[in-house]
Chain A
Amino acid sequence: MDWSNADELKEKVHALLLEKRGAGVNVTRIARIYDGSCIYLLKPDRLRYWLRSIALRDADDTLAEMNEQGF
């Protein structure tokens, strides 16, 4: 995987995932990108997004989407 221009990519990912609604509401999105034989999970680098319990939920959501894709 080519990680060149990672800083530029980081800005784009932030723009994609983080949204400010009004004065006091920040929305953080989780993205799952399916690309050939790879699945990318894009989430903030905070521990609460990467707990084992969250990984189980991620797995459920991923399986549901794979099911929709016909797998």
Chain B
Amino acid sequence: MLSDNAPSICSGRLDKELHLPSTARHELLDFIATHLLPWRFDPERPKRHSETDLTEQLADYLNTATYYSDKWSHVHFSCETGDERNRGRKIDLTVKPRAAVIMINGRRHNKYDALFPIECKRLPTPKKKDRDEREYVITEPGTTGGIQRFKFGHHGATHSLAAMIGFVQGKTMSYWKGRVNNWISQLAKRPSPQWYLSDKLQKLQNKNSSKLHVMHSSHPRTGGLDDIELRHLWIEMN
């Protein structure tokens, strides 16, 4: 019937710069960042030190925060979920739609799809003989370093944005930023390097305080994968 074919016309285009890619996800990262200090100082929070305990606590706190949020009640956080491409590998923390379908950059996300993955690491890395002190960046031998797993597509291969949360349990944040960037510089000096100076962490303006640092880094990837941007949220836990 004629009435079943609503005649409509559309013409023209909106400016590409009108809505920058990843705007919604960056806002969600800001939401997480603003809740790190309240979580850290929550008087009801049991004092824990292990990465898995802290990550689980943070997920619980963020899920309560999103439940009462006007803006983010349609997302929730899960711990230890399988990576979309490498199912055997576990993501520390993922954020997924809750009772909603979210379109981002033309990609449909339902309740089973991560909006972006989050890796949590402690600084310093606990001292054990089988652990690499550079674990935030890389593990050698191995593929479980924090930045390494995203840069080489072991985690988040289907994403162009991911986050890392650093639980700083010793020394200062400035000290660790220097150490992390120094490890990357050393990797970039190797013959036939897979790491570059451009992989270093950079501060984001007006996002830092004495107990919370927000930084970002950008990493080219091989194997036909898009570049990935990492947002680093560091919270002082001392």
Contacts from A to B (Cβ < 8 Å):
16-17, 19, 25, 27-37, 39, 61, 63, 65-67, 69-71
Q: Judge whether A34 and B12 touch: CB under 8 Å.
A: yes
Min CB distance A61 to B, Å, is: 7
B43 an interface residue at 8 Å Cβ cutoff? no
In the bound assembly, the distance between CA atoms of A70 and B104 in angstroms comes to 9
Chain B contacts for A61, CB-based, 8 A: 8
Residue interface mask B67-88, A partner, CB < 8 A = 1: 0000000000000000000000
In the bound assembly, the distance between CA atoms of A19 and B7 in angstroms comes to 10
Q: Which of B7, B10, B105, B106 contacts A32 (CB 8 A)?
A: B10
Q: Judge whether A30 and B2 touch: CB under 8 Å.
A: no
Chain A contacts for B106, CB-based, 8 A: 67, 70-71
Q: Judge whether A39 and B14 touch: CB under 8 Å.
A: yes
Contacts from B to A (Cβ < 8 Å):
2, 6-16, 18-19, 103, 105-106
Chain B contacts for A70, CB-based, 8 A: 16, 105-106
Chain B contacts for A34, CB-based, 8 A: 10-14
Q: Which of B7, B9, B14 contacts A66 (CB 8 A)?
A: B14
Q: Judge whether B9 and A32 touch: CB under 8 Å.
A: yes
In the bound assembly, the distance between CA atoms of A38 and B11 in angstroms comes to 12
Known: A36-B14, A39-B14, A71-B14. A30 touches B6 (CB 8 A): yes
In the bound assembly, the distance between CA atoms of A63 and B11 in angstroms comes to 14
Known: A37-B14, A39-B14, A66-B14. A32 touches B8 (CB 8 A): yes
Specify the chain B residue showing the minimal Cβ separation from A70.
B106
Min CB distance B90 to A, Å, is: 32
